[in-house]
Amino acid sequence: MHKTVLERRVDDPLAVPPKDQDPTGQSGAGKVSYTDVDPYYRIEAARPTSKPAPVIRLAVWAITLALTAIAVLGLRAGVAEAVRIDGASMEPTLHNGQVVVINKLDRTPERGDLITLRSPLDGEPILKRVVGLGGDIVEIRDAILFVNGVQVKEPYVDHKSVEGLYYGPVTVTAGSVLVMGDARANSIDSRSHGDVPLQEVTGTAVTRLWPLGPIPYSA
């Protein structure tokens, strides 16, 4: 009959000694060996290390390389541009120092899109979220966004940080968009500078270049 040898250090607090063994483990030498499987003892089987399957790792690398190649080709062709996020106005979606790729040919955004435009303060490119299109009636009631009287779900907005905030209602000018930062308490946007004419939109964000990956909460 096959026997399994179990070893227990006398200083192991998790081991429970047999009835005839001193709980201090001092009846023998520095460690005690037992044969057979004893139900009073905790048996720790070797757990295999969980590793991603080679196929999964290969797929991840392939997707990463493909996204990088598309971004590089787009940048070289002049139809895309890399934009660095400056500040915290788009948290938690995008953070300071991250880099996104924008499609410079897409200048007709939809609600929820992330677009770039020139800052009315210094002319530098900034990124904001479109919350209203031409003709829309936009308002914020106690931190909650409503468009045309319908509440908009915004999982990326920390509503507690802007509790008690009211804005509007305002009607977005035809041929314009109304934009806001996801960090409503820390964003200079259409609430202070008005809606943005479409000709001032410089592109629509399509992916995150650094760190590489999709943009969270993107439309």
Mind telling me the catalytic residues? 89, 128
CA-to-CA distance for 193 and 78, rounded, in angstroms?
Answer: 29
With b meaning 16 or more CB within 10 Å and e meaning fewer, what string describes 30-55? Answer: eebebeeeeeebeeeeeeeeeeeeee
CA-to-CA distance for 136 and 169, rounded, in angstroms?
Answer: 10
**Beta-bridge partner residues of 107:** none
Closest CA to 136 of 90, 168, 89, 184: 168
CA atoms within 13 A on the CB side of 212: 13
